[in-house]
Chains A and B, each alone.
Chain A
């Protein structure tokens, strides 16, 4: 086979005028996706589709598609948390969590030298990671990703109690419950609420300030979707370096743009849904 000889020195510069507007937009779009500008930072690259490569070509597609449907998720607006611990109590009573354990807790972060506030509260719970280290670590598949909802759940009768999942979890979301004879963890209240038709988890329903917002990330009308898919305010996840692709998102949550989103949301969904 012969290759055509190209004389590079004599090639003419076509100039940028010959690039169509469409092509140019596509190129810029790709660059934005690579740089992670969409949706307030690196978030969406963290919630990529499990087991699907998306890097080549269609860099933008993945923001439209989530691996589960409904893809349950929680957005925590840190600034709104007042450490009242109503969520912790609601979790305990809803899921029969014993005194020596917890499925969720509120961490305290203190600041010195700041003008507006000296303390911030950070609610933490199971991140229901898309690449859950606990699921990989479990020898008997006692803990698993629910194929429909993406909730990381426990099949207690299979748990041998080796506690590898507790150490594999980068969010300290698991504890051994002798009452269940198995490791216990947050299941987004699947057993006690969601599977019985309720729309909210115990903690998000109990939260008086709206710091915890629970919803479906695949539904563009859902508040969780709206909070994540905005550019105004930064959204982040905990311990992104572990690359577990968590489904609990964090943001400060006191900006006007978010308020607008919320106000629109309130008009559509009545408060009654919360209970």
Chain B
């Protein structure tokens, strides 16, 4: 047993439970508080399951998707995004993106589990789902495809992660490719779960499936930056020149993706203002009930402040990146909430002008819903902190694709190739024109 542990430790960089014991008291307290939160969340969620969700949840017949679905979407969006952004490196061969692959894939899996944990408390009969998804599939249902594809996505990501640990880069690349394809299919299907409900004008249309993919990529870039810079605060040793270069590249991509989402949001607002079915919701964003959510969290914290801070950081001020992406994660959570809840706030009978549907529908998350969401999010938090210690900051001697006769330049962190009879130093000098 011990022999095997040593073996895995060497090959996978797996430091085991011992690494947790060696952690500082503060670190243990952080992990402990996440464990306590997750346990409390699970306990409250199970209580809801026992007494019946309709007694304890704030969702109603009209607003039947609430905070839990928003939190689930936040998790799976981030998971898909981590997969998309990290695939630039370890699937498509963008060198600068390679060093973050292991942490990104690990967190992608963790976010997926967190999301599934949250939706477990939303679906009324989760156990039936396992049976009837298989025995009575409805191939025209987006919900069916979403569940099935996300299941496949998780399997691919786990296999990919195993091969990343094993340093089998051919197979990890293949699995990463399948994971990416299935992940994008699953995620755009999640957009289509909303986008194909033609009775709900705020959701209906091709906008959401497309938006979800770009939004996921933005969340992924943000999450990688956040977890990498936080990992650097935990253990400064994880940062080396290659990692710095990687953070810089991802900062650039994230800045680009935030701009894309700003563009998406602007047109969502402008087109919505002239559409009969959407105006009420759009106006509630601009001046109504959701104005704080929209302006403060979604626009300021989720887009403009991180955009400014990330540009200011120049990709090498890690503390600033940490603050920017941390705020952005909060903003992104509200972005998800602002897709799910406002889409339901206008009653289907509102346009008929009847008394019963004159007012916008209201929803406030209940204590049980908040705690069940915290269950998933705290699990993710705990798994992250435990992972940083147990997997030694996701470092490896060589966890990226270095072709034969190539080597990692100590100067710039890129992969250089040696010509015949050349030493590494000669190659570096040639590459960087140092004579």
B199 in contact with A242 (CB, 8 Å): yes
The one of A107, A170, A175 in contact with B357, judged by C-beta atoms closer than 8 angstroms, is: A107
State in angstroms the CA–CA spacing of A164 and B122 once bound together. Answer: 12
Chain A 116-135, CB within 8 Å of chain B: the 1/0 string?
00000010100000000100
| Chain B residues within an 8 Å CB radius of A242 | 198-199
State in angstroms the CA–CA spacing of A100 and B61 once bound together. Answer: 9
State in angstroms the CA–CA spacing of A170 and B347 once bound together. Answer: 9
Interface membership of B126, Cβ < 8 A: yes
The one of B61, B344, B349 in contact with A101, judged by C-beta atoms closer than 8 angstroms, is: B61
Check A170/B355 contact, CB under 8 A, given A163-B64, A176-B124: no
| Chain A residues within an 8 Å CB radius of B168 | none
Interface membership of A168, Cβ < 8 A: yes
A161 in contact with B193 (CB, 8 Å): no
Interface membership of A274, Cβ < 8 A: no
A181 in contact with B125 (CB, 8 Å): yes
The one of A161, A168, A171 in contact with B125, judged by C-beta atoms closer than 8 angstroms, is: A161
B61 in contact with A175 (CB, 8 Å): yes
| Chain A residues within an 8 Å CB radius of B344 | 167
B352 in contact with A167 (CB, 8 Å): no
The one of A100, A160, A164, A166 in contact with B193, judged by C-beta atoms closer than 8 angstroms, is: A164
A139 in contact with B143 (CB, 8 Å): yes
State in angstroms the CA–CA spacing of A245 and B39 once bound together. Answer: 48
A162 in contact with B143 (CB, 8 Å): yes
| Chain B residues within an 8 Å CB radius of A124 | 349
State in angstroms the CA–CA spacing of A178 and B57 once bound together. Answer: 13
What residue of chain B has the Cβ atom nearest to residue A144's Cβ? B138
A167 in contact with B200 (CB, 8 Å): yes
A170 in contact with B348 (CB, 8 Å): yes
What residue of chain B has the Cβ atom nearest to residue A168's Cβ? B197
* Residue of A136, A138, A164, A242 with highest tally of chain B CB at under 10 A: A164
* Residue of A167, A170, A174 with highest tally of chain B CB at under 10 A: A167
The minimal Cβ–Cβ distance linking B121 to chain A, given in whole angstroms, is 11
The B interface is mostly helix, strand or loop, or mixed, namely loop
| Chain B residues within an 8 Å CB radius of A172 | 61-62, 347-349
B352 in contact with A107 (CB, 8 Å): yes
State in angstroms the CA–CA spacing of A244 and B125 once bound together. Answer: 28
The minimal Cβ–Cβ distance linking A213 to chain B, given in whole angstroms, is 21
Chain A 35-74, CB within 8 Å of chain B: the 1/0 string?
0000000000000000000000000000000000000000
B62 in contact with A140 (CB, 8 Å): no
| Chain B residues within an 8 Å CB radius of A170 | 198-199, 348
User: How many of B's residues come within 8 Å of A, CB to CB?
Assistant: 41
The minimal Cβ–Cβ distance linking B341 to chain A, given in whole angstroms, is 12
Interface membership of B421, Cβ < 8 A: no
Which B106-151 residues have a C-beta within 8 angstroms of A?
123-126, 128-129, 132-133, 136-138, 140-144, 147
Interface membership of A96, Cβ < 8 A: no
Interface membership of B353, Cβ < 8 A: yes
Interface membership of B52, Cβ < 8 A: yes
Interface membership of B65, Cβ < 8 A: yes
Interface membership of B434, Cβ < 8 A: no
A178 in contact with B54 (CB, 8 Å): yes
Interface membership of B356, Cβ < 8 A: yes
| Chain B residues within an 8 Å CB radius of A175 | 61
Which B147-206 residues have a C-beta within 8 angstroms of A?
147, 193, 196-200
Chain A 151-186, CB within 8 Å of chain B: the 1/0 string?
000000111111110111111101110100110000
How many pairs of A and B residues are in contact by the CB < 8 Å rule? 131
B199 in contact with A169 (CB, 8 Å): yes
Interface membership of B274, Cβ < 8 A: no
Check A171/B348 contact, CB under 8 A, given A109-B353, A176-B61, A178-B54: yes
B348 in contact with A138 (CB, 8 Å): no
Interface membership of B354, Cβ < 8 A: yes
B65 in contact with A167 (CB, 8 Å): yes
B124 in contact with A161 (CB, 8 Å): yes
B355 in contact with A107 (CB, 8 Å): yes
Chain A 235-248, CB within 8 Å of chain B: the 1/0 string?
00011001110000
A137 in contact with B197 (CB, 8 Å): yes
B123 in contact with A160 (CB, 8 Å): yes
B125 in contact with A160 (CB, 8 Å): yes
Interface membership of A141, Cβ < 8 A: yes
Chain B 332-350, CB within 8 Å of chain A: the 1/0 string?
0000000000001001110
State in angstroms the CA–CA spacing of A141 and B137 once bound together. Answer: 7
A140 in contact with B54 (CB, 8 Å): no
State in angstroms the CA–CA spacing of A176 and B123 once bound together. Answer: 11
| Chain A residues within an 8 Å CB radius of B64 | 163, 166-167, 176
What residue of chain B has the Cβ atom nearest to residue A140's Cβ? B132
| Chain B residues within an 8 Å CB radius of A171 | 199, 348
The minimal Cβ–Cβ distance linking A62 to chain B, given in whole angstroms, is 23
State in angstroms the CA–CA spacing of A109 and B347 once bound together. Answer: 15
A109 in contact with B141 (CB, 8 Å): no
Which B354-380 residues have a C-beta within 8 angstroms of A?
354-357
What residue of chain B has the Cβ atom nearest to residue A160's Cβ? B129
Interface membership of A209, Cβ < 8 A: no
Check A139/B354 contact, CB under 8 A, given A133-B199, A167-B200, A168-B199: no
Q: Which 6 residue pairs are nearest across A and B when measured between Cβ atoms?
A: A161-B124, A170-B199, A139-B144, A140-B132, A139-B143, A107-B354
12 pairs across A/B with beta carbons < 8 Å?
A124-B349, A136-B138, A137-B196, A139-B143, A140-B136, A160-B128, A161-B128, A162-B143, A166-B64, A167-B197, A178-B54, A181-B124
